[in-house]
Structures are given as structure tokens and as C-alpha cells.
Structure 1
Amino acid sequence: MLTMQIDPPDTRRCAYTRCSAPLPYAGQGRPPEYCPDRRWDGNRTCKQLAAAERAGERAVALDVPLDAFRQAGDRFVPAAEALARQLTEVVTAIGTVRDGAVARIGESDRAARDADDRARATEAEADRRVEDADAHRATAEADRDRAETRAADAERTAATAKQEAEAAVAQAWQRATAADHARGAAEATAAQAVRRQDQAEQALAAQAERHRAEVGGLRADLTRVTSQRDAVSTALTTAESRAAAAETTAQTLSRDLAAARDELTALRAERNQLATRLAATEAARDAATAEVDRCATREREALTRARRAESRLDRLVHRAATVARRPIRPT
């Protein structure tokens, strides 16, 4: 690569032809023409050597061409400096363009690699979706086969249900008949339970009344024996014996009363069970009656349709007979 070293446009150089070193200039005052500190052979400065050079040129009659050359150089230097500035800008622009192009080329390479990666990923995703579609299609076909199998099973189940319904109608008639018999038996059992409950309540009432009477009598005897305790010890002993016997009788009566109450509770529970069974029997009878009514309604509807069909048949027969009796006209 070609590299050009171009001095800044404001750089000044030493006027001594053998030196031409850059001269530092701070921008203030008169610009320097010669190196201020450089020394040559004989400890002479650039300014001294330049003056000796000009004296020698004048000695050999070269001062006029050199002055012309210097004047031409003075005219050329500003143009050269402007050209140097332009070349500097051009070199800077070229470097900027070159760096930008290299950067864009790198970005293009990265974008191409990214696009290639995305294309590979897209192809892999497309392959996966094709595989998923094949799997879904196979699943759908299997579901369709299962649906057809279930439809066939449903048809068989419907036929079986129809047969079971016909059998259920026949069984409903049988259950209705059995329900009537069960209702009669339940009513008889309930009546017997009521009679047994009434008898138990009457027996309990009689026992309670006797118990109260005996307890009253015993209390009266006990009162009399107590008032005569000091005088009649024998009567007291007898009264105590009678009280003990009465207490035993009272306990026995209490146990009998508890047993009677338990029996009454059991009878009430049995009555409730019979009432529940009776209600269930009545519900079954009502259901069977409703089923019988529906069957009768269908039978009446079928009879009506049969009568209508018979009437239509009679009309058709009559019309056919009329047509048969009609004379045929000669053509």
C-alpha cells in the first residue's frame, strides 16, 4: 500500500538549501527563516551558511537566476500547500471510506452467516412440522376408526336397549300386579300393628293406674305404721315387709313399663317402616298405572290409525267397484 507523508499546510522550513528542516512557529511575530540553534562545520548557523551561499552565487553571476527561481518558488509554494491540504483531505477520506468498506464487508459476512443459520433453523423447523403433521394425520385416522367402532357399538347398544325396554314394559305389568298384592298385605299388617299398639297402650295405662293405686295404698299404710311405730312394733315390721314387697312390685312394674315402652317404640318403628313401604308401593303402583295408561294411549292411537286405514281401504274398494261397473264406451 502507498503511503504519503505530507506536512501540515502551515509548516515552514529552513531557507538554507542544505537544511530545509521544519521550523517551529508559535503564530506570533515574524516567522523565522532559519534554524535558530543548528550548527554546521565551523560552528556556523544556517543563516550564516545561507548568506555565504548567496555571496558565492553572486560571485559566479548566479544571483539573477536564483532570484527568479526563488520568485517562482514563492508562487508555487502556496499552490503546493493548497494541493497538499487537498491531498491530505483526499487521503483522510480514502482511509475513512476504506475503513467503512471493511466494516460493511465484515457486517455483510456476519449477516450472511446469520442468514445461513436462520435458513438451517427454518429447514429444521419445517422438517419437524412435517413430522408433526404426519403424526397428527395418523392420530386423526386412528380417532376416525375408533369413532366408527363406537358408532357400531352404539347401534348394537340401541338395539339391546329397545329389547330391554320391551322386557321392562312386561315386567312393569308384573310389578303392578305384585304391587297391588303387596299393598293389600301392607294395609293388613298396618292394621294389625295399629291394633297391637292400641292394646299395648291400654295395657300400659292399666298397669300405670294399678301402680299408682298400690303406691298410694302403700304410702297410706306407711303413714299409719309410722304414726303407730312406737306403740306397735310388730305392725311396723309387717308394714316394712309390705313396703319392701311393694317396692319390689314397683320395680317389677317399672321394668314391665320400660319393656312395654320399648315394645311400643319398636311397634312405632315397624309402623313407620310399613308406612314407608306402603308409600313406595303406592309410588310403584302409580308408575305402573302411568305406564299402563301410556300403553293404552298408544293402543288407542294405533286403533285410530287402523280405523283410518280401514276407512281409506273401504273408499278405495268402493271406488274400484264403481269403476268396474262403469260401462265401456266403444271408440
Structure 2
Amino acid sequence: MNTKLKRALAAGAAALGLLASGVAGAQAAPATRTVSVHPSGVRTMERPQATTQAGCTVGNLVVTRYSSCEGRSVPIDILSNGQRVGGGTFNLWIIQRFDRKSLNWTEQVSLTDPVFTPNARDLAVSISASSPGNQIKTIYPQGHEIGTPSQGQVLGTFDLLRAAARAEDTTYTFTVGKPGVKPASFSVTTVRYRCDNTFKGMRAGCVVPSVTTEVSMKNFKYISAGIRALRQRGGYWGDPNSHVPLTWLGSWIRQRHWDEVCRGKTPTAAERRAGRTSCDEYPFASTAEGGTTLPASQREITFVPPRENNQQGGAIQSWLKSWRILAGDRFYVDA
């Protein structure tokens, strides 16, 4: 074999060796492993008159004036080059509790009912929480393996620097992953809550302002009769059965609205003999719907004893403080 032929065969063998090495290297490239998380949504259910924490189920957000509870199903997939190779699901619970006489509030976070394939049980979860402008402390076993239940707390203090009201929410970020797997994150934002220190002689406190409340006029004989008479004629504003609430504005509008419907009006002779000399208006003068805002078919004036009108004012003030009602809050009237 001549020298030229030997060199050609050697070069060809080297080339084949490099090609084989390249193929082997391509085959040995590790798969890309990732986590995919997609929590379920929730349906909001209000329980306006409840004063204690209400239970809830997966898929629901149950809200009272002083609490909320939401439950979500959280499916997780482990993917290898885009193909599912494992995973499972757990339930996520977030419970909020507020106090009408405190700026401190608590939230409980729980992961329950984990069901995972063997290669996903060691997925770990970490939690962070934030609420703009507020002091937040998160207590949770960070890096907890998701295959077993866990529970944590968020302790918050609402920052109010002066006589004011401010609304915020809490955003949770959950990060799920394990060694050798690219992690994934998802966020959940709680119901919006509001804290204020606007009531004189009362400590600052917090509520869920979106929840409608109800004030009762049933203890006031003539006032409730006037409201019922209006509803029998088709008036529906503020009727709990109509689902059309009134909107509180405050004392600053009261006199103007009262003047629009009551000034110049006088009781009948029979009403005077019964001591019914005080003009009571509905919807209340302190609401957005008071005065002549609504058409005549949706409003009513009733002459009542002055004492009953004064007592009604006291009942409304008590209701305002009990539920921390501020301008813009919606409510119903039980008559």
C-alpha cells in the first residue's frame, strides 16, 4: 500500500471517529425538565351578616365583612422536553381575619390533600407575601416538600399615619421546584381590605369593604311602615329582596337631601294629633340615592314622632361603627 493511500484511509477513519463522537454527544444531551403549575379559579360568595369566619370549599371564595376564606385546587406537572412524566395536585387555602378595632390582621396559608407521583413528592414550595405600604411577616417552613401537608401564617400591621382610610390586598407568590428541575411560580391576590381611623372615640380597624351590610328599621313603628308602603308600591332601592343596595355618603350631604324632600312639608291634622310631626325621608338623606336623586316612585316621606326619628339616628350611628361604614359602602335596609 503506497503512502498516499495510507494517509487517505487514516484521514477517513479520523473523520468517522469525529462523526461518531458527535452523534454520541447528541444522544447524551440531558433532557430539559421543568415544572408547570396552574391553580384553579374561585367563585365569590358573600355572607354579609356573618360575624365569624365562614367555612369554604375548593373553588369558592367566601367573604364576610371581617374575614375571607378561599380554596383552590393546584395541579402540578413535571415535564421532560415538554412531555409530562409526573406530578399531582394539592389544595391551597388562604384565610383572612380582620378586627374592627385593630390595625393588626392575620392570614393563614395551608397546603392540604397532596396526591403526587413518586418522582414528584419531593417537590419543594416556598412562599412570599407582600402588601404595599404595610408591615408583613411571613411564617412558613420555606422549602417544605409538597408531598406532605403544611401550614403557615402571615402577620400584618396596616400603616395609617393620620385620620384616613386606605385599601390594600395581599399578593402571595408560590415557587415550586426541586434539584435538576426548572422551578415555576404562581401568584394569588386576596380580596381587598380597608383599614381606617376615622371614627371619633373608636380605635382604628379593618374590614372587607366590598361586602354589603344591612341595617334594620324594624324597631321603628312608623319609619318601617313608611318603607314597607313604598316597597308595596314598587320601590325597590335598598330592599334586600331586590338586590339593589343603597350607597352611604355621609352627614355632609344629609341637610341638602332632607331639604329637597322635607322642607316646607307639613303633617296632616291626624298626624299632628298622634304626635307625628317629624319628617322622615327614605332613602336616607345621607345616601347617594337620597333627596330627589331617584324618581318620586322610588322615594317616600313619612311623618313620625320626633323621638322615633332621634332613636333611628342613634341606631344608624351604631350600625356605622359596628361595620365601619364609610362613604361608598353599599347596604340594604330591613323593614
TM-score above 0.5, yes or no: no
Structure in which a larger fraction of residues adopt helix: 1
Structure in which a larger fraction of residues adopt strand: 2
Please identify the structure whose Cα radius of gyration is greater. 1
Q: Normalised by the shorter chain, which TM-score bucket?
A: under 0.3
TM-score (norm 2): 0.17
TM-score (norm 1): 0.17
